Every structure is written in structure tokens, then in C-alpha cells.
Copies of this chain bind each other. A is one copy, B any other.
């Protein structure tokens, strides 16, 4: 790892100096959340191999072994980080899909609605949510094209993704189903790119600060809706 990043201090709640022993209430959950928060930030900043268990323990204000005690080996900790918010995200998407189905009343759901409903929870969380959600969004972007990342993403996101793809294919009845999958992949890649906060869009446009993700979100919806619609034209 590069040295400049090594000395990063996390702005956690000050590590309450804890003596060994069983805590009062069900404090275990609180500690687990602290570990997940620290791991989320470090994995997002340095990647899976770049962030060590020691880094995570130190950032959470705990000893090394506490990580293993709560989560087992490193890969399970990583999975737990992804899973925590994946469950929330997936819940929102399924809820939106159920509503859209009801509103469509048997007809196909409009493309623009499907795009909006799939992307919105992610971008809203990444832009209006706390620092944890921002870290999570950056982490998802990093994971996207790595073997371990896609394996974990598959476990937590593919089921819902397939539901949306099925609805997209229904709404684009004339289109090649594989084209629709490619379009979906492009949509997800754009979504992750917007929230990854890499600084590249700023460098390419000459902007000082990052464009508000909500603005990019509106552009994404228009852009990709148009892309999907053109797939029906033979």
C-alpha cells in the first residue's frame, strides 16, 4: 500500500476504552456495527487486499482478535459489510417494483419507471445518506469488476436484478433479450460510476466540486431510458 494512505484516521465515535468482560446489555450488536462501519470505509478506500484486519480493528478501537471473533475469516467480514446494506437496498427495490406492478395493473411497466426505481435507492442513499452510505457506494464501485466482488454481488443482488430484467424485457417486447441484459449492465455501471466519487468527471469537465449525484441521476434516467427504447427498433 501507499504510505500516504496508511496513516488515515477514521472519525469513529471515540474508542471507548473497554475492559475485557461481558458487556451490560446486548452490546454485542453495537460492537458489530462499529466493526462493519470501519471495515466499510477501509475496504472502500483501499480495496479488499489493501485493507488489513489490523486496520479495521484499530479504526474500530478494538484488538485484532475481536474482528475474527465476531465475523470469522476476512472474507466473511467482507461479505457481512456488503450484506448489511444490500438487504436494505434490495428491500427498497422490491417494494418499488411491487408498487409499479400494481400501478400498471397487468400492463408492462414503463421503462423510465423501471430505470428510476432500480437506480434511485442507490443514488439517493449515496447522496443524501450518511458517510456510511457514501462509503458503501464507493465500495460497490470498486467491487464491480473484480472476481471476489462479483461473486459477492451475485449473492446479494442478482435475484432482484433478474426481476427487473424480466420486466424490462417484457416492456421491450420487440428487443433482443441479450441486448436488454447489456443495457441493464450499462445502467448499473453508470450508477456505480456516479457514486464512486473518483474525481474523473471533475477532471474531464473542469468542474471544481463533484456534480450533485441527483443531477447525474436525472441525466442517467433520461440517457438510459432512451437507450433501452432504441433497442426495440430492428
Whether B154 and A200, one on each chain, are in contact in the complex, defined by CB atoms closer than 8 angstroms, is: yes
Contact pick for A189, options B150, B158, B189, CB 8 Å? B189
Contacts of A142 in B (CB 8 A): 145-146
Segment among A9-17, A25-33, A85-93, A204-212 that sits at the interface with chain B: A204-212
Cβ-based interface call for A183 (8 A): yes
Known A-B contacts A75-B2, A142-B145, A189-B193; A204 and B183 likewise in contact (beta carbons under 8 Å): no
Residues of B within 8 A of A184 (CB): 204
Residues of chain A in range 60-77 having any CB-CB distance to chain B below 8 Å:
75
By the criterion CB–CB under 8 Å, are B1 and A49 in contact? Answer: yes
Cβ contacts under 8 Å, A106 to chain B = none
On chain B, the residues within 8 Å of A23 by CB distance are none
Interface residues of A in 118-144 (CB under 8 A from B): 138, 141-142, 144
- Asked if B178 and A211 make an inter-chain contact with CB atoms under 8 angstroms apart, the answer reads yes
CB of A186 within 8 A of CB of B193, answer yes
Interface hits, A217-231 → B, CB 8 Å:
219-220, 222-231
Interface string of A173-191 (1 = CB under 8 A from B): 0001111011111100110
Contact A145 B153 (CB under 8 A): no
State whether the Cβ of A59 lies closer than 8 Å to any Cβ in chain B.
no
A162 contacts which chain B residues (CB < 8 A)?
Answer: 204
Q: Judge whether A186 and B220 touch: CB under 8 Å.
A: yes
Nearest-CB distance from A159 to chain B (Å)? 10
A46 contacts the other chain (CB 8 A):
yes
Which residue of B has the minimal Cβ distance to A52? B49
CB distance from A186 to the nearest CB of B (A): 4
Q: Report the bound CA distance from A184 to B205 in whole Å.
A: 11
Instruction: Closest B residue to A49 by CB, please name it.
Output: B49
Contacts of A147 in B (CB 8 A): 5, 45, 198
The answer on a CB contact under 8 Å between B193 and A181 is no
In Å, the complex CA distance between A192 and B162 comes to 21
Q: Which 5 A-B pairs have the closest CB atoms?
A: A141-B145, A49-B49, A226-B230, A189-B189, A223-B227
Q: What are 11 A-B pairs with beta-carbon distances under 8 A? A: A1-B49, A48-B50, A49-B50, A142-B146, A144-B196, A153-B200, A161-B204, A182-B219, A183-B219, A183-B223, A226-B229
